[in-house]
Structure 1
Amino acid sequence: MVKQPKPETLAERTRRAVSNELVDAAQALFAEKGYEQVTIDEIAEATGISRRSFFRYFASKDELVLGRFDQQGEQYVDALNARPLDEPLWVALRRMADVTIAYVSDPELGRRASEMDRLIHSSESLRAGFLRRMEIAQGLVTDAARQRESVRGSDLSDIAIAATVAAAFSAIMVAGEQARAHGTSWARVFDEAMTALTPAHADTQHQPAQVETRSNGG
């Protein structure tokens, strides 16, 4: 069985919950009013905390734009660890991304994701922050995949595992780029990219059918 991470303390869970609430409130306001028009005071008021308390969680509005990606790695690791151990790594990585597909497929969350994506890619500093967070997420997933393959008794080398995870993350990035540029379905592009990048070692006979969703950015 894949080893589970140490449970969070009550203080850690509380901090995560407040941080997530701030991110949700801020991104909803950004999507409704526009990033420049929303103040930190408005975000704090929307979550029932003071301006001073806000800065205990985030240093700036920029961090709130990127907030959804701060936990991306942990979410992907949880999703990967939840996959059956008899499932080939490539298929498990495909199903891991269902957490993103669910997010961008939701009408309201998908609209918000599109707006945040537009903001991120209109700013060099935000884009750099986004890429850094995705790099961290890829590292966490790679570590989890190595542990998973060890438990499975896989004969994949560390390099093969790292390259397989990197290919899956490339598909994730391509899906976001295509959805942003052309308004295409994130899920459809992701599945197409995963098919194109399928490693020679991958057993895909149990690969699920493509998930069709609304055309939202991711």
Structure 2
Amino acid sequence: MRNDEEEPGGLRERTRRAVRDELARLALDLFTTRGYEETTVEDVARAASMSKRSFFRYFPTKEDVVFGELELMAARIAEEIRARPADEPPWRCLTAVLAGWQDRIHAAQRELPGLRLIESSPALRARLAQKRDELRALVADALRARPGAPLDAFTADLLTGAAGTALDAAAREWLRTGGQADRATLLTRAFALLEPPGAGGAVGGTS
């Protein structure tokens, strides 16, 4: 029998996540104080009292520290999408799930300081674009994989891209207001503006 440390939510995994969270917090503090380009992996590792090699056990690159748990979140979002009712229209399915995750998506980017850091760094913006392409493909595949809800690849990609655009626009407006605007309201408005014609019924077909 597997012990608690080996289970996904066990002691070992919880400890690893706690260390990752602390590393990300320390890194963000250093990046915002010294500048992203000026801060090295060695600086972050030193602040965390660990070696550079140990740092890379938790994050494969310096850029990945900024994005926290985006990959894990994408996998969970995809799971929720696949579990939605088969008769739910694709756009409604997608936006309902993303609306439920919007607070955690923002938290993964370390809130206002993290968003400002990404906006100020070409390297981070490029890395975020790459990650988002990968994660959107995962979500689009999940949208197509819902049992009894056939959707062609083009439509799934288009809907997922539109939903991602809504998230981005809401985040930028929130940033422009200095974090004063209500993110949920911004996202609801963005989803409504981008809602495809006939989104109340079936969208797309089989490929």
Where 2:110 maps in the other structure, the secondary structure is helix
C-alpha distance in 2, partners of 1:35/1:20?
A: 24
Where 2:69 maps in the other structure, the secondary structure is helix
Report percent identity of matched pairs: 26
How many residues are treated as equivalent by the alignment?
185
Are 1:166 and 2:171 matched, yes or no?
no
Which piece of structure 1 moves more, 132-141 or 71-80? 71-80
- What is the CA-CA distance between 1:27 and the residue it aligns to? 3.2
Counterpart position of 1:203? 200
- What is the CA-CA distance between 1:35 and the residue it aligns to? 5.2
Letter in 1 for 2:112: S
Indicate conservation of the 8 Å contact 1:104/1:113, yes or no.
Answer: no
Counterpart position of 2:129? 131
Where 1:67 maps in the other structure, the secondary structure is coil
41 and 13 in structure 1: CA distance in 2 versus 1, 3 angstrom threshold: farther
- What is the CA-CA distance between 1:111 and the residue it aligns to? 9.4
Which piece of structure 1 moves more, 169-178 or 93-102? 93-102
- What is the CA-CA distance between 1:21 and the residue it aligns to? 3.0
C-alpha distance in 2, partners of 1:115/1:21?
A: 20
Indicate conservation of the 8 Å contact 1:145/1:161, yes or no.
Answer: yes
35 and 139 in structure 1: CA distance in 2 versus 1, 3 angstrom threshold: farther
Task: Please list the CA deviations of residues 123-174 of structure 1 after superposition, one character each: whole Å capped at 9, or x if unmatched.
Answer: 10011111111111110011111111xx2244x4332222122211111111
Report the aligned-residue RMSD: 3.2
Indicate conservation of the 8 Å contact 1:73/1:136, yes or no.
Answer: no
Q: Provide structure 2 residue ranges, at least 5 long, that are not aligned to the other structure.
A: 1-5, 202-207
75 and 190 in structure 1: CA distance in 2 versus 1, 3 angstrom threshold: same
C-alpha distance in 2, partners of 1:202/1:196?
A: 12
The match for 2:170 among 163, 170, 175 is 175
Counterpart position of 2:145? 147
- What is the CA-CA distance between 1:32 and the residue it aligns to? 5.4
Indicate conservation of the 8 Å contact 1:66/1:126, yes or no.
Answer: no
Are 1:83 and 2:88 matched, yes or no?
no
C-alpha distance in 2, partners of 1:91/1:70?
A: 23
* TM value normalised by structure 2: 0.73
C-alpha distance in 2, partners of 1:101/1:162?
A: 20
The match for 2:112 among 111, 114, 124 is 114
Indicate conservation of the 8 Å contact 1:94/1:194, yes or no.
Answer: yes
Counterpart position of 2:20? 23
Counterpart position of 1:186? 183
C-alpha distance in 1, partners of 2:76/2:118?
A: 20
